[in-house]
């Protein structure tokens, strides 16, 4: 009898909860969800789709959609990382708002409108992988009457920028050479890559991570600490401190342990075939000498570069591949390394071997001019320098007379 009374009391309480909850559900009836994997969303940048959501970490990943609605929200969750990931929310190509993700928050209001016109919105990730992995669950739009998501056109030209902290825009918002990394001073939209892509009205993908080189990390470590090693991945987990022998080192954690070629999150190269690939690597291989005391190994550098170029050509049989030397190198630092002269020589050698011995004449050499003050964080190029770099590289590409 006591059990029966308790059961009746439970039903009564459930009934009350339903009565209280019913108006809340009715209130949100007009919010319509659009899945992260909807064909209506135009993506730029590597991402991994799983169970209706999209995961990403590389800088410059963006989602663009057209809509007719009173309000639009995005469902974004930062899963890990050292700092808060930042985004630009750009409405109709001009109205830009900075959004910084907050712990425990999952929805962000992007826009409200009083008209019934078609609008566009683009969300652009500003920071690199070490800041954190983000899960995008999609958009939600609200319309008092009738609203809808409108299809968008993709830009026909496609570019990919492969590199290190320079390509990521490390410290680009600084002009005082402030030491240390901060997420708020990193902005992919102001980098030479983004500016060049806009000059050619092209889509852009970025596969870049601070500290990474062709065959070793900036601190001198090998293996997982190179762009060729992580190049197959759709996204990276942030830098984590690990024990290695008797010392502790920072490493990007792989999405899964083991051979990167078998990761479930392996990038599908068929999804994006760039017309132009810019490879800006080598700075960290040479600067590692100052950190570990071991000079750059010319044979390993060139061999790693040639192997990587072979992989790129297999993935992108028709792309123009431009191997560039970055603006941070100098013959004065690290002392005795002659980094600026040697890096130019080795990269030229790689290109010449692809041209003359392999018959691949769609691989090119280019070097940026050494940077000058003002400097961004940790001696990185400032926005002023990135604009100069974009002009130099755009002029070079223009004179290639590519058929794209």
| Selection from 359, 283, 292, 278 nearest residue 322 by Cα | 278
Check residue 244 and give its pLDDT.
53
Q: Does one domain contain both 64 and 173?
A: no
Between 151 and 188, the higher pLDDT residue: 188
Total domain count, the chain: 2
Is residue 82 in a domain? yes
**What digits encode the pLDDT tens for the residues 16-47?**
333 222 222 223 447 889 999 999 999 999 99
Is residue 119 in a domain? yes
Is residue 272 in a domain? yes
| CATH number assigned to the domain comprising residue 124 | 2.60.120.260
Q: Does one domain contain both 140 and 168?
A: no
Q: Among 118, 150, 182, give the residue marking a domain's end.
A: 150
Between 44 and 223, the higher pLDDT residue: 44
Between 264 and 101, the higher pLDDT residue: 101
| Selection from 204, 251, 173 nearest residue 58 by Cα | 204
Check residue 237 and give its pLDDT.
76
Is residue 285 in a domain? yes
| Selection from 227, 187, 185, 188 nearest residue 204 by Cα | 188
Q: Does one domain contain both 140 and 228?
A: no
Between 149 and 121, the higher pLDDT residue: 121
Is residue 271 in a domain? yes
Check residue 116 and give its pLDDT.
83
Which of 81-90, 247-256, 260-269 shows the lowest mean pLDDT across its residues?
Answer: 247-256
Q: Does one domain contain both 180 and 322?
A: yes
- Collapsing DSSP to helix, strand or coil, 164 comes out as coil
Sign of dihedral through CA atoms 185, 189, 190, 194? Answer: positive
Check residue 31 and give its pLDDT.
85
Q: Does one domain contain both 37 and 92?
A: yes
Check residue 257 and give its pLDDT.
39
Q: Does one domain contain both 324 and 387?
A: yes
Check residue 19 and give its pLDDT.
29
| Selection from 205, 186, 183, 209 nearest residue 194 by Cα | 205
Cis preceding-peptide flag for 216 (omega within 30 of 0): no
What percent of the chain lies above the pLDDT cut of 90?
A: 74
Sign of dihedral through CA atoms 200, 315, 190, 100? Answer: positive
Which of 12-26, 40-54, 73-87, 160-174 shows the lowest mean pLDDT across its residues?
Answer: 12-26
Contacts of 348 (CB under 8 A, 6+ apart): 365
Scanning 86-237, the segments in alpha helix (DSSP H) are 165-168, 192-199, 227-230
Which long-range contacts does 316-319 make (Cβ < 8 Å, 24+ apart)?
A: 316/160, 316/269, 316/273, 316/274, 316/277, 318/273, 318/275, 318/362, 319/160, 319/273, 319/274, 319/275, 319/276, 319/277, 319/362
Helix pair 339-352, 298-315: axis angle to 10 deg = 40
| Selection from 309, 331, 321, 59 nearest residue 207 by Cα | 59
DSSP string, 331-399: SSSSTTT-HHHHHHHHHHHHHHIIIIIT--TTEEEEEPPPP-SSB-GGG-B-HHHHHHHHHHHHHHHHT
- By CB atoms closer than 10 A (0-12, 13-18, 19+), residue 181 is buried
Q: Among 126, 150, 174, give the residue marking a domain's end.
A: 150
What percent of the chain lies above the pLDDT cut of 70?
A: 84
Check residue 259 and give its pLDDT.
42
Task: Kindly tell me if the per-residue pLDDT of 240 is higher than 50.
Answer: yes
Task: Kindly tell me if the per-residue pLDDT of 228 is higher than 90.
Answer: yes
What's the domain range around 312? 157-232+267-398
Give the neighbor-by-neighbor strand order of the sheet with 202-208: 202-208, 157-163, 276-280, 320-325, 363-367
Task: Kindly tell me if the per-residue pLDDT of 125 is higher than 90.
Answer: yes
| CATH number assigned to the domain comprising residue 364 | 3.40.50.1110
If pLDDT is split at 50, 70 and 90, which confidence band does 91 have?
A: very high
CA neighbours within 13 Å on the CB side: how many for 253? 14
Adjacent-strand bridge partners of 68: 148
Q: Does one domain contain both 207 and 126?
A: no
Between 273 and 242, the higher pLDDT residue: 273
Task: Kindly tell me if the per-residue pLDDT of 254 is higher than 90.
Answer: no
**What digits encode the pLDDT tens for the residues 320-373?**
999 999 999 999 998 889 999 999 999 999 999 999 999 999 999 999 999 999
| Mean pLDDT (whole number) for 96-108 | 95
Average pLDDT, the chain: 87
| Mean pLDDT (whole number) for 90-118 | 94
Q: Does one domain contain both 206 and 66?
A: no
**What digits encode the pLDDT tens for the residues 131-155?**
999 999 999 999 876 567 766 778 8
Between 211 and 143, the higher pLDDT residue: 211
Cis preceding-peptide flag for 117 (omega within 30 of 0): no
| Mean pLDDT (whole number) for 85-106 | 95
Residues 53, 134 contacting (CB under 8 angstroms)? no
Task: Kindly tell me if the per-residue pLDDT of 249 is higher than 70.
Answer: no
Tokens read off for 376: 């961004």
């Amino acid at each position: 009898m006591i059990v029966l009374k308790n059961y009746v009391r439970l039903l009564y309480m459930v009934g009350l909860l339903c009565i209280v909850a019913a108006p809340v559900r009715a209130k949100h009836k007009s919010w319509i969800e659009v899945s992260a994997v909807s064909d209506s969303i135009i993506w730029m940048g590597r991402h991994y789709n799983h169970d209706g959501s999209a995961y990403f970490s590389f800088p410059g990943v963006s989602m663009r959609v057209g809509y007719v609605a009173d309000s639009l929200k995005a469902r974004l969750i930062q899963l890990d990382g050292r700092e808060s990931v930042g985004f630009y929310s750009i409405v109709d190509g001009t109205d830009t708002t900075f959004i910084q993700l907050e712990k425990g928050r999952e929805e962000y209001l992007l826009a409200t409108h009083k008209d019934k016109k078609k609008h566009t919105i683009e969300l652009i990730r500003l920071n690199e992988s070490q800041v954190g992995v983000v899960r995008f669950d999609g958009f939600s739009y609200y319309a008092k009457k009738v609203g809808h998501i409108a299809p968008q056109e993709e830009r026909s030209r496609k570019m990919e920028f492969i590199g290190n902290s320079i390509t990521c825009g490390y410290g680009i918002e600084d002009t005082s050479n402030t030491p240390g990394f901060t997420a708020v001073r990193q902005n992919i939209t102001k980098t030479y890559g983004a500016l060049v892509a806009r000059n050619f009205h092209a889509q852009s993908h970025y596969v870049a991570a601070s500290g990474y080189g062709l065959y070793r990390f900036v601190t001198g470590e090998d293996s997982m600490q190179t762009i060729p090693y992580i190049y197959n991945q759709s996204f990276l987990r942030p830098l984590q401190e690990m024990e290695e022998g008797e010392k502790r080192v920072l490493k990007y954690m792989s999405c899964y342990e083991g051979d990167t070629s078998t990761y479930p999150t392996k990038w599908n190269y068929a999804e994006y075939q760039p017309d132009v690939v810019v490879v800006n690597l080598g700075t960290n291989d040479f600067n590692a000498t100052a950190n570990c005391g071991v000079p750059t190994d010319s044979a390993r550098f060139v061999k790693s570069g040639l192997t990587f170029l072979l992989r790129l050509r297999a993935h992108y049989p028709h792309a123009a591949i431009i191997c560039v030397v970055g603006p941070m190198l100098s013959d004065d630092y690290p002392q005795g390394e002659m980094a600026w002269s040697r890096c130019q020589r080795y990269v030229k050698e790689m290109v010449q071997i692809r041209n003359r011995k392999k018959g691949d004449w769609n691989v090119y050499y280019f070097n940026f001019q050494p940077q000058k003050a003002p400097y961004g964080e940790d001696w990185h190029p400032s926005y002023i320098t990135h604009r100069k770099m974009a002009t130099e590289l755009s002029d070079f590409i223009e004179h290639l007379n590519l058929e794209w």
